[in-house]
Amino acid sequence: MINLPDFTGIIKKVPELRLKDLHGDINLIGSDVVTKTNYAQPAFGDVKNILTEYVVLPLGIDVVHEKAQLVKSVLLCGPRGCGKTVLVQALAHETGAMLMDLTATNIVGRYPGKAGLNMLTHLVMKVGRLLQPTIVMIDAADKMFLKKVPKTDKSDPRRLKKEMPRMLKNIVPEDRILFIGITNAPWNCDVKSLASVYQKILMIQRPTFGARADLWRQLITKNGGKLTPRLDLSGLARISDGFTTGHISSVVCQVVTEQRLSKQDKTPLTSSEFVVPLSKLEPIYREEEEALKTWFQKTPIMKKKAKLIEEELEAQGLKGKQAKKNEAESSKSKKGKKKKKK
């Protein structure tokens, strides 16, 4: 028998959180912005839909798991506070999966030495199979492939670097075990290293203007706040540009308290009340966002997509040139016929 107390802190309690509880829209204009250097990126709603196909259906339904492509690992990358961790928790709840946390900071000091590491990986796979479906979460996944670990980092983040591929290799079609990596700084390591371990790489961006306006509305009303003309949601959406879902959620929780709700009938909520707590938070700067997009475009799937888009655009260009040529020839032909009639 396996002594589960040895797994204290590794097996996590899954909160009652559903995907529908996570606010985020889909990208409705993505196809209108595709060029050689500008790719339509999925919005948070699109990521939820993709994860439903990759994770929820295969892990939660035996028939789908048997017939669908075997996905062993997924990497979620995006700025801090964009909802990566809560997504993993929601996926575990939706599928009824056991959630393990193999983040370096969570296993530091546990199962020391080579023998201990072998025991850890053995237990992960054995317990994962016994209690499947199982989701294994690894936060700060990029640190596993750092070329040089900072001296201040005592968590030994590269500890599972060699073991991770072995665990993935041992997953067979009958297993409902999925590894999900999380990172907000994937550019710290080599793209090939992460791509060699994670089959699917998904990027989560900060919310757009429309998504932020909807987010303010949903979170304020969910917490009991009333919407009045004094509450300018468009203004809040504008000033919260650069902030993530986590930032906005934190601000709403700070402002829409029970004490404030008891006064809102006489003194309605105003936009200015949310400005001060929002100003104390650090936004996602353009440089960080651009670094993430640049890194993401270097991933194998995006390189393949870029090639397909380039081929499609070239084909459209050739079609356009051919159409103009045909039009010119047709025009010459018509002029020639008119001269003959004369």
pLDDT digits (tens, 9 = 90+) for 233-249: 999 999 999 899 999 99
pLDDT band at 1 (very low <50, low <70, confident <90, very high): very low
Residue 39 pLDDT greater than 80, yes or no = no
Would you state the pLDDT for residue 209?
86
Task: Work out the burial of residue 266: count CB atoms within 10 Å of its CB; fewer than 13 is exposed, 13-18 middle, 19 or more buried.
Answer: exposed
Question: For the residues 113-128, what does the mean pLDDT come to?
Answer: 89
Q: What is the mean pLDDT of the chain?
A: 84
Q: Can you state the angle between helices 84-95 and 44-51, rounded to 10 degrees?
A: 30
Torsion on CA atoms 245, 251, 252, 258, rounded to nearest 10: 150
In this structure, the strands spanning 11-12 and 98-101 are antiparallel
Would you state the pLDDT for residue 30?
54
Residue 3 pLDDT greater than 80, yes or no = no
Residue 287 pLDDT greater than 80, yes or no = yes
Quick one: tokens of 192? Answer: 């090939």
pLDDT band at 90 (very low <50, low <70, confident <90, very high): very high
Strand order in the sheet with 11-12: 11-12, 98-101, 134-138, 177-183, 73-77, 200-203
Quick one: tokens of 222? Answer: 């969910």
Distances (CA, A) of 285 to 44, 80, 84, 214, 241: 19, 11, 18, 22, 10
Mean pLDDT is lowest, of 69-73, 176-180, 322-326, for 322-326
Would you state the pLDDT for residue 332?
63
Would you state the pLDDT for residue 328?
65
pTM: 0.82
Question: For the residues 190-215, what does the mean pLDDT come to?
Answer: 87
Q: Which helix (H) or strand (E) holds 136?
A: strand 134-138
Q: Where are the domains of the chain?
A: 4-205, 209-279
User: With pLDDT > 90 as the criterion, what percentage of the chain qualifies?
Assistant: 34
User: How far does the chain reach from its first CA to its final CA, in angstroms?
Assistant: 102
Q: What are phi and psi of 267, to 5 degrees?
A: -125, 90
Would you state the pLDDT for residue 40?
62
3-class SS shares of the chain: helix, strand, coil, % to 5: 55, 10, 35
Question: For the residues 52-71, what does the mean pLDDT come to?
Answer: 85
Residue 51 pLDDT greater than 50, yes or no = yes
- CA 333, CA 144: separation in Å to the nearest integer? 68
Q: pLDDT tens-digit profile of 170-184?
A: 999 889 999 999 998
4-205 topology per CATH: Rossmann fold (3.40.50)
Q: What is the CATH number of domain 209-279?
A: 1.10.8
Question: For the residues 191-196, what does the mean pLDDT come to?
Answer: 85
Q: Within 10 A of 190 (CB to CB), how many other CB atoms are there?
A: 15
In this structure, the strands spanning 200-203 and 73-77 are parallel
Residue 297 near residue 77, CB atoms below 8 Å: no
User: With pLDDT > 70 as the criterion, what percentage of the chain qualifies?
Assistant: 87
Question: For the residues 21-47, what does the mean pLDDT come to?
Answer: 67
pLDDT band at 315 (very low <50, low <70, confident <90, very high): confident
- CA 275, CA 227: separation in Å to the nearest integer? 17
Residue 337 pLDDT greater than 60, yes or no = no
Residue 249 near residue 220, CB atoms below 8 Å: no
